[in-house]
């Protein structure tokens, strides 16, 4: 299968390398020449392209703005499967539905990554065993969806979930976006300064994703702001319960909150 990957950052380059490793013919397209040269030198792609001519599948591994622009302006061949991998889906799906298109669109979100970025951080094994979310609606071409699923298996994804774009964005507000925001806010505590000798695994877990690219994530947050604000408000309200128990010296209230959290933790991991 001939595949074009547009965008050779950590996700796109890892995707391209995994597809090539599984036997597909993969061409890279990128806005800067440097990543193309790295991908060629490492054998991550079979060659460079500036068009989509003859492509069976195109993966758009771009930030939100460029993705929306490419879906509107890209010269895709009739019937080509075009799959974006943005971290929000409703705004992308809505844009696709508003315009006549010759391509077959499938929305995807690989639940994998690192706290670092760029092609130097890419890894063909990045997606092995990870989750992939595919968005489906009444207009989804089922043959195109099946093709993307087959490619996902080739790449190494362990679990593939079908959902609507709206549900994706609600879930991701909690499982990804809120986690990144909390990490970003947490590390800004004044007590973080000079605390290097006091940290362990819990601190590392809480701060791991706090330093991601603000421009990229700002756009994702605003595209999903209603869902995200709801999750932020909910977390703040729950935390205020713990703070009030501590302020008032109410040990029983704190015990109830901690127990509720422990049981919620147990229930989540038992259903996984």
pTM above 0.85, yes or no: yes
Residue with tokens 């990144």: 180
For the chain, domain boundaries: 2-163, 168-271
In this prediction, residue 272 carries a pLDDT of 66
- For residue range 219-230, what is the model confidence (pLDDT) as tens digits? 999 999 999 999
Distances (CA, A) of 175 to 7, 118, 170, 181: 25, 23, 9, 11
Residue stretches of the chain with pLDDT short of 50: none
* Topology (CATH level 3) of domain 2-163: Rossmann fold (3.40.50)
User: If we measure between CA atoms, which residue out of 63, 61, 69 comes closest to residue 44?
Assistant: 61
In this prediction, residue 53 carries a pLDDT of 95
Class of domain 168-271: mainly alpha
Burial of 171 (0-12, 13-18, 19+ CB in 10 A): middle
- Cβ proximity of 109 and 86 under 8 Å: yes
- For residue range 100-129, what is the model confidence (pLDDT) as tens digits? 889 999 999 999 987 777 898 899 999 999
Please check whether the two domains, 2-163 and 168-271, share a CATH topology. Answer: no
């Amino acid at each position: 299968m001939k595949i074009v990957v547009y965008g050779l950052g950590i996700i796109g380059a890892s995707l391209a390398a995994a597809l090539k490793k599984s036997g597909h013919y993969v061409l890279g397209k990128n806005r800067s020449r440097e990543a193309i040269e790295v991908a060629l030198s490492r054998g991550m792609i079979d060659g460079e392209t500036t068009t989509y001519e003859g492509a069976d599948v195109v993966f758009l591994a771009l930030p939100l703005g460029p993705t929306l622009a490419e879906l509107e302006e890209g010269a895709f061949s009739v019937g080509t499967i075009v799959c974006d991998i943005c971290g929000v889906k409703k705004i992308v799906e809505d844009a696709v539905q508003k315009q006549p298109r010759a391509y077959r669109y499938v929305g995807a979100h690989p639940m994998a990554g690192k706290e670092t970025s760029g092609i130097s951080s890419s890894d063909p094994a990045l997606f092995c065993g990870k989750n992939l979310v595919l968005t489906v609606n009444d207009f989804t071409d089922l043959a195109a969806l099946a093709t993307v699923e087959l490619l996902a298996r080739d790449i190494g994804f362990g679990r593939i979930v079908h959902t609507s774009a709206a549900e994706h964005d609600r879930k991701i507000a909690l499982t990804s976006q809120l986690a990144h925001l909390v990490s970003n806010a947490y590390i800004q505590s004044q007590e973080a300064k000079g605390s290097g000798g006091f940290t362990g695994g819990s601190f590392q877990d809480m701060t791991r994703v706090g330093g991601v690219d603000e421009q990229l994530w700002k756009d994702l947050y605003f595209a999903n702001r209603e869902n995200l604000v709801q999750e932020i408000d909910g977390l703040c309200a729950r935390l205020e319960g713990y703070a009030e128990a501590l302020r008032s010296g109410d040990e029983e209230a704190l015990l109830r909150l901690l127990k509720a959290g422990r049981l919620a933790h147990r229930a989540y991991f038992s259903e996984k």
